[in-house]
A and B are shown apart, each in its own frame.
Chain A
Amino acid sequence: MHLKVNGDVHDVDAPDHWTLLEVLRYRLGLTGSKQGCDKGDCGACTVLVDGEPMISCLILAREAEGREIVTIEGLWPLHLARGGEGPDPVQDAFDRYGALQCGFCQSGMILSARALLDRTPSPTDEEIARALSGNLCRCTGYTQILQAVQSIVARARGVEPPRRSWEAANVGRQAGER
Chain B
Amino acid sequence: MASRDIHGIDAPWGAFRHVGRDLRKVDGLAKATGAAMYTDDIALPGMLHAKTLRSPHAHARIRSIDAADALRLAGVHAVITGEHLPVTYGILPWTQDETALAVGKVRFVGEPVAAVAAVDEDAANAALKLIRVEYEPLHAYLDPFESLARHDPPIHEGRKDGNVSKHVHLAFGDVDAALAEADVVIEDDYVFHGTTHAAIEPHCAVGHYGADGVLTVWSSTQITHYVHRALARVLDVPAHRIRVIQPCLGGAFGGKSDPFSLEFVVAKLAMTTGRPVKMLYTREEVFYTHRGRHPMHMRYRTGATREGRLVGVDATIVIDGGAYSSYGLVTTYYAGQLLTGPYAFATYRFDSTRAFTNKPPCGPKRGHGSVQPRFAFEVQLDELASTLEIDPIEIRRRNLLGEHTTTVNGQRITSNGFARCLDVVEHASNWKTRHGQLPFGRGMGVAGSMYISGTNYPIYPNPMPQAAVQLKIDRSGLVTVFTGANDIGQGSNSIAQYLVAEELGLALDQVRVVSADTDLCPVDLGAYSSRETFMVGNALIDACRKVRPLVVRAVADHWQVDPSRVRFVDGVVVELDDPPLQPAGVAVGGEARPGASPPDAAAGRRWMTAAEAFQLAEARFDTLGATGAYNTPTLGGDYRGGTIGAAPAYSFTAHVVEVSVDVETGRITCEKVWIAHDCGRALNPMLVAGQMEGSAYMGVAEALMEAHGVNRFGLHAGPSLLDYRIPTTVDTPELAALIVESLDPEGPYGAKEAGEGPLHPAIPAISNAVFDAVGIRLKHLPFTPGKVLAALRARKDAAAGTPAPALAGGAR
Which residues from chain A contact B488 at a C-beta distance below 8 Å? 102
Query: A144 contacts B199, CB within 8 Å?
Result: no
CB distance from B100 to the nearest CB of A (A): 24
Additional A-B contacts beyond A102-B250, A172-B421 (5; CB < 8 A): A34-B200, A92-B32, A100-B27, A103-B36, A141-B732
Task: Pick from B197, B200, B736: contact of A42, CB below 8 A.
Answer: B200
Tell me the chain B residues, 721-758 only, with Cβ under 8 Å from chain A.
721-722, 726, 728-730, 732, 735-743, 750
User: Which chain B residue has the least Cβ–Cβ distance from A106?
Assistant: B31
Whether A172 contacts B676 in the complex (CB less than 8 A), given A37-B283, A133-B729, A178-B20, comes out as yes
CB distance from A111 to the nearest CB of B (A): 10
Query: B735 contacts A141, CB within 8 Å?
Result: yes
19 CB-based A-B contacts, threshold 8 Å: A25-B41, A73-B35, A76-B33, A95-B24, A95-B29, A96-B24, A98-B687, A102-B200, A103-B36, A104-B38, A128-B729, A129-B729, A132-B729, A136-B721, A139-B690, A165-B738, A174-B417, A174-B740, A176-B750
Which residues from chain B contact A178 at a C-beta distance below 8 Å? 16, 19-21
Which residues from chain A contact B33 at a C-beta distance below 8 Å? 32, 72-73, 75-76, 87, 91
For residue A151, CB closer than 8 A to chain B, the reply is no
Tell me the chain B residues, 152-166 only, with Cβ under 8 Å from chain A.
none
Main secondary structure on B side of the interface with A: loop
Measured CA separation A102–B158 after assembly (Å): 42
Query: B720 contacts A39, CB within 8 Å?
Result: yes
Query: A102 contacts B251, CB within 8 Å?
Result: yes
Task: Pick from B32, B37, B248, B489: contact of A87, CB below 8 A.
Answer: B32
User: Which chain A residue has the least Cβ–Cβ distance from B740?
Assistant: A172
Measured CA separation A103–B11 after assembly (Å): 31
For residue A10, CB closer than 8 A to chain B, the reply is no
For residue B15, CB closer than 8 A to chain A, the reply is yes
For residue B623, CB closer than 8 A to chain A, the reply is no
CB distance from B467 to the nearest CB of A (A): 21
Measured CA separation A71–B202 after assembly (Å): 21
Measured CA separation A7–B448 after assembly (Å): 54
Query: A137 contacts B34, CB within 8 Å?
Result: no
The 7 A-B pairs at the shortest CB distance, nearest first, are namely A32-B34, A102-B489, A172-B740, A104-B250, A103-B31, A141-B697, A72-B34
Interface residues in A, total, Cβ within 8 A: 71
Query: B728 contacts A38, CB within 8 Å?
Result: no
Which residues from chain B contact A92 at a C-beta distance below 8 Å? 29, 32
Query: B35 contacts A32, CB within 8 Å?
Result: yes
Whether A174 contacts B742 in the complex (CB less than 8 A), given A144-B690, A165-B737, comes out as yes
CB distance from B423 to the nearest CB of A (A): 8
Measured CA separation A132–B249 after assembly (Å): 22
For residue A150, CB closer than 8 A to chain B, the reply is no
CB distance from B521 to the nearest CB of A (A): 20
CB distance from B240 to the nearest CB of A (A): 31
For residue A175, CB closer than 8 A to chain B, the reply is yes
User: Which chain B residue has the least Cβ–Cβ distance from A134?
Assistant: B728
CB distance from B195 to the nearest CB of A (A): 12
Tell me the chain A residues, 92-118 only, with Cβ under 8 Å from chain B.
92, 94-98, 100-107, 110
Task: List the interface of chain A (C-beta within 8 A of B).
Answer: 15, 25-26, 29-39, 41-42, 44, 71-73, 75-76, 87, 91-92, 94-98, 100-107, 110, 128-130, 132-146, 164-167, 169-178
Measured CA separation A166–B685 after assembly (Å): 7
User: Which chain B residue has the least Cβ–Cβ distance from A144?
Assistant: B690
Interface residues in B, total, Cβ within 8 A: 85
Query: B730 contacts A103, CB within 8 Å?
Result: no
User: Which chain A residue has the least Cβ–Cβ distance from B742?
Assistant: A174
Which residues from chain A contact B807 at a C-beta distance below 8 Å? none
User: Which chain A residue has the least Cβ–Cβ distance from B738?
Assistant: A171
Which residues from chain B contact A26 at a C-beta distance below 8 Å? 43
User: Which chain A residue has the least Cβ–Cβ distance from B42?
Assistant: A31
Task: Pick from B27, B200, B248, B676: contact of A138, CB below 8 A.
Answer: B200
Query: B253 contacts A138, CB within 8 Å?
Result: yes
A to B contact number (C-beta, < 8 Å): 238
Query: B741 contacts A172, CB within 8 Å?
Result: yes
Measured CA separation A164–B19 after assembly (Å): 18
Measured CA separation A91–B30 after assembly (Å): 10
Query: A36 contacts B200, CB within 8 Å?
Result: yes
Whether A172 contacts B491 in the complex (CB less than 8 A), given A32-B35, A95-B28, A166-B739, comes out as no
CB distance from A167 to the nearest CB of B (A): 8
Measured CA separation A44–B417 after assembly (Å): 38
Measured CA separation A18–B604 after assembly (Å): 66
For residue B667, CB closer than 8 A to chain A, the reply is no
User: Which chain B residue has the least Cβ–Cβ distance from A33?
Assistant: B34
For residue B198, CB closer than 8 A to chain A, the reply is yes
Whether A136 contacts B686 in the complex (CB less than 8 A), given A38-B283, A96-B24, comes out as no
CB distance from A151 to the nearest CB of B (A): 12
CB distance from B670 to the nearest CB of A (A): 12
Measured CA separation A62–B739 after assembly (Å): 51
Measured CA separation A42–B490 after assembly (Å): 21
Task: Pick from A35, A103, A176, A177: contact of B27, CB below 8 A.
Answer: A103
For residue B9, CB closer than 8 A to chain A, the reply is yes
Which residues from chain B contact A177 at a C-beta distance below 8 Å? 11, 15-16
CB distance from B542 to the nearest CB of A (A): 20
Measured CA separation A42–B511 after assembly (Å): 35
Query: B726 contacts A136, CB within 8 Å?
Result: yes
Most chain A C-beta atoms within 10 Å of own C-beta, residue among B24, B25, B694: B694
Tell me the chain B residues, 227-252 only, with Cβ under 8 Å from chain A.
248-252
For residue B40, CB closer than 8 A to chain A, the reply is yes
Whether A129 contacts B726 in the complex (CB less than 8 A), given A97-B686, A102-B199, A107-B34, comes out as no
Measured CA separation A142–B15 after assembly (Å): 33
Whether A130 contacts B200 in the complex (CB less than 8 A), given A72-B33, A101-B491, A176-B743, comes out as no
CB distance from A107 to the nearest CB of B (A): 5
Query: B417 contacts A138, CB within 8 Å?
Result: no
Measured CA separation A31–B248 after assembly (Å): 12
For residue B5, CB closer than 8 A to chain A, the reply is no
The 8 A CB mask of B685-724 against A (1 = contact, 0 = none) is: 1111110011111100000000000000000000011100
Which residues from chain A contact B136 at a C-beta distance below 8 Å? none
Query: A98 contacts B689, CB within 8 Å?
Result: yes
Which residues from chain A contact B19 at a C-beta distance below 8 Å? 178
For residue B294, CB closer than 8 A to chain A, the reply is no
Most chain A C-beta atoms within 10 Å of own C-beta, residue among B15, B28, B489, B750: B28
Query: A166 contacts B697, CB within 8 Å?
Result: no
Measured CA separation A135–B252 after assembly (Å): 18
Which residues from chain B contact A39 at a C-beta distance below 8 Å? 283, 720-722
For residue B678, CB closer than 8 A to chain A, the reply is yes
